[in-house]
Amino acid sequence: MKKNFTMMLASILALSLAACSSTKLSEDYSEDEVISRAEEVVELINVLDYSAINAELRDDLKDTLTTEKLKNALEAKVGDAGDFSEYSTVTTAGQKSKSTGEDYATVVMVCKYENATITYIISMDKKMDIVGINTK
């Protein structure tokens, strides 16, 4: 059940980016700022503050990805991971929506925990609102 729900959450989050093409990070974004923003989100995940994560989402996603849905999906990944150790790999990319032309910044962070390694894929718009969170 949790695995299916996680897949559903990933699908919902990906919808806003589904018609996007991956490119170099747009000049409208600072690589340091998008990495810092993604780290803020990972820190909220690490302390299991799902209402704060929901508050970071772009307004049009907040009702779809409720605090409870975020908790169910993310806790399945992070719950048994143990204490956060380090960001082992961090990369950035740009995406452009084919339908709207909007540029997004995406940060892929491989994070080591005491009992697991989790990859976060966090996307944001130009206002730095989160438009996608995925875990692997």
Report the CATH number at residue 59. 3.10.450.590
Per the domain annotation, does 67 fall within a domain?
yes
Assigned domain for 66 exists: yes
Q: What share of the chain in percent tops pLDDT 90?
A: 61
**pLDDT tens digit string along 73-103?**
898 889 889 999 999 999 999 988 788 888 9
Which residues are CB-contacts of 46 (< 8 A; sequence separation ≥ 6)? 78, 84
18 domain residue, yes or no: yes
Do the domain assignments include residue 134?
no
* Residue 29: closest CA among 119, 101, 98, 106: 106
Closest CA to 2 of 71, 101, 97: 71
Question: Do residues 109 and 120 lie in contact, with contact meaning Cβ atoms separated by under 8 Å?
Answer: yes
pTM over 0.85: no
Residue 19's domain spans which residues?
2-129
Q: Indicate the number of domains in the chain.
A: 1
